[in-house]
A and B are shown apart, each in its own frame.
Chain A
């Protein structure tokens, strides 16, 4: 029964297949954002250590200090040496590593090299501390100021350009990161949607599966019901038929010796058997019509007490030894229903009362009106209905636990209830185990106009 089995491994995969690329896209965009922001972080770390402008301004300042130290008014050998060294150290710094590359890009590296060479040509430590040398140094350092200023200007402009370009790049990267994260968010939404949809699908397929198995169960129930039904009906048919058969055999054996008494005895037995057969066929036919929506009824005002009287008379004829009593209240007891169906129901209730009570106890019928209903209550002094049987009393094929095997079809009360409902009425019951029961048929009261018309 593979069509009813749970969703296979394969179909589960099919449910989550779209999930895989979407998940990859989600992770991909997150990884992209991560890589971009990591690159940004690295770039900022490098950028912040480049401080060319500071180096150039230091050079400018030291050159200024050297100019001051060598000015004619204020010359001190020690100070001039120190300023000379410091100026050289700054120029030297400008010609190292990243600074040298920076200046090369600007086309100023040769200028700085030339400045250094020019200064070194006037090195006081090489050429002795002479006032003429100081005067030459003073003029040289003064003449270098404009060049250093130009370098400083270019560096500043370049730094700003670079900073602006870097900010642009940062902004671009930031935008990319925001886009990537937003995209990842959308993808996450898509994933959630897929997961939810798949869960719903799984849920639905589980439901379908459950429904399918419950349908199967129902089918099994129905088929077992038909089996039960066939078994019951054949039993119920065979019993009266064999009664008739044996009665006819006895008569046949006696041949010409048959007396009028013999015939009367057999006639009663056969009549009773035929009555049972007729009622069984009637019940089965009614059930079949009811199940196939083919039950035709002629609704009209019916006198409930008259119907009950008819049933009591018939039952009395079948059971001459039993005490059957019918009483009814005064006033109109007209119900609206089908005469034949109502009779069938009351007959069923009376038959049950007779069957399930001792032969020496009476069965009483009482017809009365209450509210908008007309009722026929059938009371017996039998064993009552056991509590465990009460909830199932009107189920088809249900037979009480105390019943002897083969006794009753389990259809009678179920059919009676269904027929009562078919006519807009119902059957209710009260029971006192060990003491007796009251089963009551309720039918809607006939409208005044109809009563007058009839």
Chain B
């Protein structure tokens, strides 16, 4: 059993073993990327340079510690070209994000929070996290809606 935080309540305790297998595809890249469409596993994403980000969020207390890859690294690795990325979640939530966001800010695709892998029973497997505390302009509802959790696909256009 991995170490877990009490703040997750009982659900988090029980959801931990449900983490998706590391070699299973968890993210689909489509649109203006090389070899589209392509699917990426958790292992693939962990091969990208990993970044830490400590920030408050609108749906949790305190400042969780996130770990994950920079979205711009992922897009660069697959020669993405376009203006916007359409991020889609497990429940078909869809949000257009301008590519400039990833250039201006160190936006990460978080794979774990406070040391525990993000579960699909919480915000996993991937949560788009903005460095909210470092930039005042990001503390805005228009950016909050771009924090797509349970991310399953990115479509570049």
Contact = CB atoms under 8 A, between A and B. Distances in A.
Interface in B48-104: 57-61, 90-91
A95 interface: yes
Contact of B14 (A45, A55, A120): A120
A85 B9 contact: no
Nearest to B12: A92
B1 interface: no
Contact of B90 (A86, A92, A120): A86
A89 B150 contact: yes
A96 interface: yes
A113 B121 contact: no
B18 interface: yes
Nearest to A55: B59
Interface string A98-128: 1110000000000001001100100101000
Interface in B122-155: 122-123, 139-141, 144, 150
A89 B90 CA distance: 11
B120 interface: yes
B21 interface: no
Interface residues of B, number: 27
Q: Which of A96, A99, A116, A120 has the most CB of B within 10 A?
A: A96
B11 A91 contact: yes
B121 A89 contact: yes
Chain A contact residues: helix, strand, loop or mixed: helix
Contacts of A91: 11
B60 A49 contact: no
A48 interface: yes
Nearest to A117: B10
Interface in A211-237: none
B9 A113 contact: yes
A99 B140 CA distance: 19
A123 B59 contact: no
Interface in A41-78: 45, 48-49, 55, 58, 61-62
Interface string B1-31: 0000001111110110110000000000000
A415 to B, nearest CB: 92
A113 B10 contact: yes
Contact of B60 (A48, A97, A117): A97
A125 B57 CA distance: 30
A92 B9 contact: yes
A444 to B, nearest CB: 95
A48 B141 CA distance: 7
B151 to A, nearest CB: 13
A124 to B, nearest CB: 10
A290 interface: no
Contacts of B7: 96
A40 interface: no
A93 B59 contact: yes
Q: Which of A55, A82, A93 has the most CB of B within 10 A?
A: A93
Contact of B11 (A45, A49, A88, A99): A88
A49 B122 contact: no
A116 B150 contact: no
Given A82-B90, A95-B9, A113-B10, A89 B60 contact: no
Contacts of B18: 85, 125
Given A48-B141, A89-B123, A92-B15, A62 B91 contact: yes
Contact of A120 (B8, B11, B58, B140): B11
A113 to B, nearest CB: 7
Nearest to B15: A88
Contact of B121 (A61, A92, A96): A92
Contacts of B121: 85, 88-89, 92
A361 B120 CA distance: 138
Interface string A114-144: 0011001001010000000000000000000
Nearest to A88: B121
Given A113-B9, A120-B14, A89 B144 contact: no
Contacts of A88: 11, 15, 121
17 contacts: A48-B141, A49-B58, A82-B120, A86-B90, A86-B120, A86-B150, A89-B120, A89-B123, A91-B11, A92-B12, A96-B60, A98-B61, A100-B9, A116-B10, A117-B10, A120-B10, A120-B14
CB-based closest 10 A-B pairs: A97-B61, A88-B121, A97-B60, A85-B120, A92-B11, A95-B9, A49-B58, A85-B121, A116-B11, A48-B141
Given A49-B144, A125-B17, 19 more contacts: A82-B90, A85-B90, A85-B121, A86-B91, A89-B122, A92-B8, A92-B11, A92-B122, A96-B7, A96-B61, A97-B59, A97-B60, A97-B61, A98-B59, A100-B9, A113-B9, A116-B11, A120-B10, A123-B14
